[in-house]
Amino acid sequence: MSDTSTPIRAAKGTDLRCKGWLQEAALRMLENNLDPDVAEDPANLVVYGGTGKAARTWDDYHRIVATLKRLENDETLLVQSGRPTGVFRTHAMAPRVLIANANLVPEWGTWEEFRRLEALGLTMYGQMTAGSWIYIGTQGIVQGTYETFAAIAEARFGGTLAGRLVVTAGCGGMGGAQPLAVSMLDGVCLIADVDPWRLGRRVETRYLDLVAPDLDSALREAKEAQDAGEGRSIGVVMNAVDMFAELERRGIHADIVTDQTAAHDPLVGYVPDGMSLEAAAELRGNDPSRYIELARASMARHVAAMVRYQDRGAVVVDYGNNIRTEARAHGYERAFDFPGFVPAWVRPLFCTGTGPFRWAALSGNPDDIAATDAAMLKLFPDNAKLHRWIGQAQRRIAFQGVPARICWIGYGERHRAGLMINDLVRSGEVTAPVVIGRDHLDSGSVASPYRETESMKDGSDAIADWPLLNAMLNVASGAAWVALHHGGGVGIGRSIHSGSQVVADGTADGALRVERCLTNDPGTGVMRHAHAGYEAAIDHARATGLDLPGITT
In single-letter form, the type of residue at position 140 comes to G
Please give the model's pTM, rounded to 2 decimal places.
Answer: 0.91
Please give the C-alpha separations between residue 146 and each of 180, 187, 452, in angstroms, as whole numbers: 8, 11, 17
Sign for the CA dihedral angle at 270, 276, 277, 283 comes to negative
171 counts as catalytic: no
Sign for the CA dihedral angle at 380, 500, 131, 450 comes to positive
**pLDDT, position 139:** 82
**pLDDT, position 3:** 54
Q: Which run of H or of E encompasses 107?
A: none
Q: Kindly indicate the confidence band of residue 6, based on its pLDDT and cuts at 50, 70 and 90.
A: confident
- Rounded to the nearest integer, the mean pLDDT of the chain is 95
**pLDDT, position 553:** 64
CA angle, 523 then 54 then 135, to 5°:
50
Mean pLDDT of 348-377: 97
* Three-class DSSP category at 99: strand
Q: Beta-carbon neighbour count of residue 313 at 10 Å?
A: 10
515 HSE (CA, 13 A, CB side): 9
Mean pLDDT of 310-331: 95
The alpha carbon of residue 15 and the mean position of all alpha carbons in its chain are separated, in whole angstroms, by 30
**pLDDT, position 176:** 84
| Alpha helix (H) residue ranges in 380-483 | 384-396, 414-427, 465-477
Burial 121-142 (b: 16+ CB within 10 A, else e): eebbbbbbbbbbbbbbbbbbbb
Task: List the one residue out of 225, 183, 187, 230 whose CA is nearest residue 208.
Answer: 183
The C-alpha atoms of residue 511 and residue 75 are separated, in whole angstroms, by 20
Q: Kindly indicate the confidence band of residue 454, based on its pLDDT and cuts at 50, 70 and 90.
A: very high
Sign for the CA dihedral angle at 258, 240, 461, 177 comes to positive
**pLDDT, position 335:** 97
* 539, β-bridge pairs: none
The least confident of 160-164, 174-178, 419-423 is 174-178
The alpha carbon of residue 194 and the mean position of all alpha carbons in its chain are separated, in whole angstroms, by 22
pLDDT in tens, 493-512: 999 999 999 999 999 999 99
Structural domains of the chain ordered from first start: 139-338 (3.40.50.10730)
| For residue 49, pLDDT beyond 90 | no
- DSSP symbol at 106: G
* 52, β-bridge pairs: 48
**pLDDT, position 142:** 87
The C-alpha atoms of residue 332 and residue 355 are separated, in whole angstroms, by 33
DSSP string, 263-300: TTSTTTS-PPTT--HHHHHHHHHH-HHHHHHHHHHHHH
Task: List the one residue out of 486, 466, 471 whose CA is nearest residue 104.
Answer: 486
The C-alpha atoms of residue 308 and residue 70 are separated, in whole angstroms, by 58
Mean pLDDT of 315-320: 94
Mean pLDDT of 176-180: 92
Q: Is 48 buried (19+), middle (13-18) or exposed (0-12) by CB count in 10 A?
A: buried
Sign for the CA dihedral angle at 106, 108, 113, 119 comes to negative
Mean pLDDT of 345-358: 95
pLDDT in tens, 397-422: 889 999 999 999 999 999 999 999 99
Catalytic residue among 18, 189, 351, 407: 407
Q: Kindly provide the residue ranges of all beta strands, DSSP E only, lying in 279-364, ordered along the sequence.
A: 315-316, 355-361
**pLDDT, position 371:** 98
Task: List the one residue out of 142, 146, 167, 315 whose CA is nearest residue 241.
Answer: 167
Q: Is 311 buried (19+), middle (13-18) or exposed (0-12) by CB count in 10 A?
A: exposed
Please give the C-alpha separations between residue 264 and each of 22, 221, 502, in angstroms, as whole numbers: 33, 31, 29
Rounded to the nearest 10 degrees, the angle between the axes of helix 384-396 and helix 177-184 is 120
Task: List the one residue out of 95, 222, 112, 125 whose CA is nearest residue 165.
Answer: 222
Task: List the one residue out of 489, 420, 373 whose CA is nearest residue 132.
Answer: 489
pLDDT in tens, 202-213: 999 889 999 999
Q: Is 551 buried (19+), middle (13-18) or exposed (0-12) by CB count in 10 A?
A: middle
pLDDT in tens, 248-287: 999 999 999 999 999 989 999 999 999 999 999 999 999 9
The C-alpha atoms of residue 300 and residue 325 are separated, in whole angstroms, by 9
| For residue 2, pLDDT beyond 70 | no
**pLDDT, position 434:** 98
DSSP string, 340-371: BHIIIIIHHHHTTT-EEEEEEETT--HHHHHH
**pLDDT, position 173:** 75
What region, left, alpha or beta, does residue 72 occupy, with left being phi > 0 and alpha being psi -120 to 50 degrees?
Answer: beta
